[in-house]
Chain A
Amino acid sequence: MGYVAARGGTEAIAAAEELVRRHRLHAAAPWLELEQLTERLRYLTDRVMGEGGLWAPELAARAIRQAEGDVIEAAHLLRAHRSTLPRLCRLRAVDADGLDPLRRIVPAFREVPGPQLLGRTLDYTGRLLDLADEDRARDDAAGAAGARVEPTEFETTLAGEATDRAAEERSARFPQRLLDVLRDHDLVVERRRPDDPEPVDISSFAVRPGIGRSGVLSVMARAETGALVNLWYRNILGPDNHLHEVTLGEVRHGELPVLVTHPHTGGDVRLGVVRATEVEAIEDLNGAEEDRTRFDVGYGLVAGHNERKAIAMANLDIAVHRHGADGALEQSVLMTTDGLDASGFLEHLKLPHYVTFRSMIERKQAMRTDRARQQRTGRHNRGANENGAQR
């Protein structure tokens, strides 16, 4: 692999930067406010936060605006900014059971503990481009919101039922997982470990094969969405064949609390919440060496609302486990799914490679010269031999 440091051209580079800055700040269109990005393009800001590895909606919106909508560039800006921030304190580890769901579905099972809560999803919308008059559509939506009457059923609970109702509400808000039900029926292989090792922090340590499950999961949580989906699809339908079709146990999107320990009281202090998408994927074990009477479960957890990525992650988690920790799939997950890595390498191809390419040309010319000389020498030798034979 050849590289050459780029020298010179400083004025041209500065002019290109100025061109970007000027057109970004003085485009012939209204200025894009951060709120428009965070509230109207929520999937985009969530994706940038997930791939950038920093929960900061306003900064993500700034990055998207600065990158003019280039998602990987925006994630790069956010991750670079994150690297300059000091770590101020250690957060308490939060149990994902404490995720307050905005949406929760269990595709594997109809009768599950807790509700199937569709929530805000595009799953059931017809993929038809809405060409309705936008002003009228907004007016209609505002009118419909004003006319809606919220149910008052829960407000009229009798005093004696209050405790039951509270328990029901809690059960509805924090439902038991399908995985727990399967465990109760002894249908899942045991992959939990008795110890509780510190997870690998991939923002501080270089990622390499053999990093362990926490490292692999962290890499996938920060991976580029398209790369992860592609890797999953390649393994389902492509030549790699590391995955079978799996069934989804839990798909949740909700809010997780951010907790720190109070330095004096030792109690939990809630700093706020982050939204996350969590997925558990159930796989039917069918390998010769596997326990075929049970299932195994893969896990996905990503920042923001990004079900596609969390599902791919859960599927790949289980595939990495089934096909060996040091195998090719783990290497693919670790080394090829990071958007910054991949695009950084790709983008560098645009930098001047004058010296390396020049040397390639010279090598080819030298080979050609050498070949021509050999041919001439060969002809000469053949001619000499032929003459000798005649003599």
Chain B
Amino acid sequence: MTLHRTAAGARLQGDRSTAVFRVLLDTLARPGMVQALPPGLFPPGVAPALALPLALADLGTSFCIASDDEAEAAAQRDLVALATDARHTIPYDADIVVLGRPDPEAVGGLRSGSDELPEAAAKLAVQVEDLGSGATVVLDGPGVAAPFAVTVGAPAEFMLALCDRNERPPAGIDTWIVDRRGRVLGLPRTTRITVLDGTGTEVS
């Protein structure tokens, strides 16, 4: 019953769904610019990264939620499935993937599309603690007026794994990093990411 109540609260309809969609769109259009999800979007306890499947998934969509905490992941799967009617599947088959933490190995197992079918790539949301921490990266490419440095809340290993998957656009994985306060940073597959170490030197 609690799950049903939470799912009902997490179901995004009408304007709320559109508002989340707008944030996701804007953050992809302006890579690295942090935007906040609309306040009071979900009941307490719902991870903000779930905004991606809750706003975009429906019964024609497949999704995957992966987390070290299997009990938490299972609860989140049930929640998203109940709220959206989307189908849960393995990472490689999923249209939408949510990672409970920035796990570099998990990125390797996602669909990234191809030159002919770039739209077949997964959309990825990664839950982090705080966008103000983690690796510092320099972003450049479409949507970036001039290269700039930003912290992304995820470790360098994760960012390097993402760089590997986005080496050859148009194939690649569009990614949103979401922190616990509901702040979102978008990294489309076309963004060139340079990962820096603590001294400001490029990590390769």
Contacts and interface: CB of A to CB of B under 8 A. Distances in A.
A84 B55 CA distance: 9
Contacts of A5: 142-143
Interface string A78-92: 000000101111100
B21 A86 contact: no
Interface in B131-158: 142-143, 145
Q: Is the interface of B mostly helix, strand, loop or mixed?
A: loop
Given A5-B142, A7-B145, A204-B60, A86 B17 contact: yes
Which of A5, A7, A87, A206 counts the most chain B CB atoms within 10 A?
A87
Interface string B9-24: 0000000011001000
Contacts of B57: 86
Interface residues of A, number: 11
A201 B61 CA distance: 13
Nearest to B13: A86
Contacts of B58: 86-88
Interface string B29-57: 00000000000000000000000000001
Contacts of A206: 117, 119
B143 to A, nearest CB: 8
Contact of A89 (B59, B119, B143): B59
B145 A86 contact: no
A87 B95 CA distance: 15
Contact of B84 (A84, A86, A204): A86
Interface string A161-202: 000000000000000000000000000000000000000010
A2 to B, nearest CB: 15
Contact of B59 (A7, A84, A90, A201): A90
A84 B15 CA distance: 10
A78 to B, nearest CB: 15
Q: Is the interface of A mostly helix, strand, loop or mixed?
A: loop
Nearest to A90: B59
Which of A84, A86, A87 counts the most chain B CB atoms within 10 A?
A86
Given A90-B59, A204-B60, A206-B117, A84 B18 contact: yes
B196 to A, nearest CB: 26
A362 B168 CA distance: 29
A244 to B, nearest CB: 36
Nearest to B22: A84
B179 to A, nearest CB: 25
B110 to A, nearest CB: 19
A87 B21 contact: no
Nearest to A203: B60
A166 to B, nearest CB: 39
A84 B17 contact: yes
A252 to B, nearest CB: 30
Nearest to A204: B60
A200 to B, nearest CB: 13
Nearest to B84: A86
Contacts of B119: 206
Contacts of B117: 206
Nearest to A5: B142
Interface in A80-130: 84, 86-90
Given A206-B117, A206-B119, A84 B21 contact: yes
A140 to B, nearest CB: 45
Contacts of B17: 84, 86
Interface in B41-87: 57-60, 84-85
A83 to B, nearest CB: 9
Nearest to B60: A87
A11 B94 CA distance: 41
Interface in A192-223: 201, 204, 206
Contacts of B84: 86
B193 to A, nearest CB: 19
Contacts of B59: 86-90
A87 to B, nearest CB: 4
Nearest to B117: A206
13 contacts: A5-B142, A7-B145, A86-B17, A86-B58, A86-B59, A86-B84, A87-B58, A87-B60, A87-B85, A88-B59, A88-B85, A204-B60, A206-B117
Given A84-B17, A86-B59, 5 more contacts: A5-B143, A86-B57, A86-B58, A88-B85, A89-B59
Interface of B: 17-18, 21, 57-60, 84-85, 117, 119, 142-143, 145
The 7 residue pairs across chains A and B that have the minimum distance between CB atoms: A86-B58, A87-B58, A87-B60, A87-B59, A84-B18, A84-B21, A5-B142
